[in-house]
Structure 1
Amino acid sequence: MLTGLAWLALEAKSLESAREFYAERLGLTVRERGDRELVFTAGDTDLVVRRPDGLPRGGLHTHYAFSIPDAEYDEWWTRLDDDYDLEEAQFGPTRSLYLYDPDGNCVELGQQDVAGPGIDGLFEVVLEVAALERSRAFYEDLGFEPVDEGHGRKRVRLQGPMALELWEPQLGIADARGGVHVDLGFETADPEAALAAVDDRIRSLERETDEAVVVRDPDGHFVTFVST
């Protein structure tokens, strides 16, 4: 049903600080620049950083993961280690490093099967939810499938066009937290069908056109279904 992650939006107090971090330190290209937001290109996904002066806001303390080529991992560690308090985690044969952006979002750079060079996509987003089963049912109705559940911790990892983790309030690796009032955009061939799959579970219907449907999920996250 959902075929790709179109964007992830984060909240930023200073667009210039966000630009310095994401463009100069992480090498992302600025695709659009406005008074309220910047749009960076991360593979096929846009990373939006947005000032908190309207709706939808971007996400606060959002943990998410960029894809980097396997062979570049050590280079990225060397590049960032002097200026950031990096943490590392091993997931089977792959490694990820973690650092924080100027607004307290936990940014993961993880080894993935991507071409690069540099950051080449966004493969995971973590949302904070109030009731795990309620939110899990919402995203499963959109075609996400569970692949891992936290043992004794109320969290679930779902796989769809990217990995989506749902966490009841808790701390993860590098003291990461799930994002609140996150704004996600998903590509789909049929926005109306996506709406129909969850219309009895949404908090609100924000906008409905031929090209896009915007809803708020049970926890208030903005979710847009964009026609491809």
Structure 2
Amino acid sequence: MLTGLSWLALEVKYLEPARRFYAETLSLPVRADGENEVVLAAGETDLVLRRPEAVPRGGLHTHYALSIPAAEYDEWWDRLSAEYDLEEAQFGSSRSLYLYDPDGNCVELGQRDVAGPGIDGLFEVVLEVESLERAREFYEALGFRTVDVGDDRKRVRLNGPMALELWEPHLGIADGRGGVHVDLGFETDDPNAALAAIEDRVARVERETDEEVVVRDSDGHWLTFRSGSACN
């Protein structure tokens, strides 16, 4: 049903330090540079930095993960550890490093099978939710599939256009937290079919056209379903 992650938006207090972190420290190309918003390219997904001037706001203290080629991991570690207090985690044969951006978002750089060079995609987003079961049923209705449940029953991992982690309030690896009022954009062949799948579960439908549907889920996250033709 959902075929791709179009964007993740983060709320930033000041654009310039956030822009420097992502454009210079992480070397993400800048796609658009406005007065209250900067859009950068994380592979095919837009990473949006947004001042809190209107709704939807970007996510606060959002933990999310960016893809890097496995062979570049040590280079990234050496480069970033000179300035940041990094943490590391091992997932099977893959490693991830963790650091924080200027606005307190926990950024993971993880080894993935991507071409690169540098950051080449966004493969995971963590949302904070009030009820794990309610949120899981909501996202499963959109086609996500549950692949793991945390031992503490505070976390569920689902696979879809990207990995989606749903967390009841707690601290994860590197003391990361799930994001609140996160703004996610998804590509889909049929926005209205996506709405039909969850219409009885949303808190509010913000906008509905043939090419784009915008809703708020029960935890206050903003979801946009946009047709592929409208994304091009």
TM bin (shorter chain): over 0.9
Q: What amino acid is aligned across from residue 32 of structure 2 in structure 1?
A: E
Residue 13 (structure 1) aligns with? 13
Residue 216 (structure 2) aligns with? 216
Report how far residue 53 of structure 1 moved: 1.1
Report how far residue 153 of structure 1 moved: 3.3
Residue 135 (structure 2) aligns with? 135
What CA distance in whole angstroms lies between the structure 2 residues aligned with 1:131 and 1:16? 36
Report how far residue 12 of structure 1 moved: 0.4
- Whether 1:87 aligns to 2:87 is yes
The equivalences for 1:39-54 within 5 A come to 39-54=39-54
| Aligned length, in residue pairs | 228
Query: 1:98 aligns to what SS in structure 2?
Result: strand
The equivalences for 1:67-86 within 5 A come to 67-86=67-86
Report how far residue 210 of structure 1 moved: 2.0
What CA distance in whole angstroms lies between the structure 1 residues aligned with 2:144 and 2:110? 21
Residue 165 (structure 1) aligns with? 165
- Whether 1:26 aligns to 2:35 is no
Query: 1:169 aligns to what SS in structure 2?
Result: coil
Report how far residue 221 of structure 1 moved: 0.2
Q: What amino acid is aligned across from residue 70 of structure 1 in structure 2?
A: A
Q: What amino acid is aligned across from residue 8 of structure 1 in structure 2?
A: L
Residue 121 (structure 1) aligns with? 121
Taking only aligned residues, the RMSD between alpha carbons, in angstroms, comes to: 0.5
What CA distance in whole angstroms lies between the structure 1 residues aligned with 2:80 and 2:42? 18
The equivalences for 1:143-154 within 5 A come to 143-154=143-154
Query: 1:206 aligns to what SS in structure 2?
Result: strand
Residue 191 (structure 2) aligns with? 191
What CA distance in whole angstroms lies between the structure 2 residues aligned with 1:78 and 1:199? 47
Q: What amino acid is aligned across from residue 27 of structure 2 in structure 1?
A: G
- Give a deviation string over 1:127-172, Cα, whole Å, max 9, x none: 0000000000000000000011001231100000100000000000
What CA distance in whole angstroms lies between the structure 1 residues aligned with 2:153 and 2:17? 34
What CA distance in whole angstroms lies between the structure 2 residues aligned with 1:14 and 1:211? 33
What CA distance in whole angstroms lies between the structure 2 residues aligned with 1:45 and 1:68? 14
Q: Which 4+ runs in 1 deviate beyond 3 A?
A: none
Residue 2 (structure 1) aligns with? 2
What CA distance in whole angstroms lies between the structure 2 residues aligned with 1:23 and 1:210? 35
What CA distance in whole angstroms lies between the structure 2 residues aligned with 1:200 and 1:153? 26
Unaligned runs of 5+ in 2: none
What CA distance in whole angstroms lies between the structure 1 residues aligned with 2:19 and 2:155? 32
Q: What amino acid is aligned across from residue 76 of structure 1 in structure 2?
A: W
Unaligned runs of 5+ in 1: none
Report how far residue 78 of structure 1 moved: 0.4
Q: What amino acid is aligned across from residue 41 of structure 1 in structure 2?
A: A
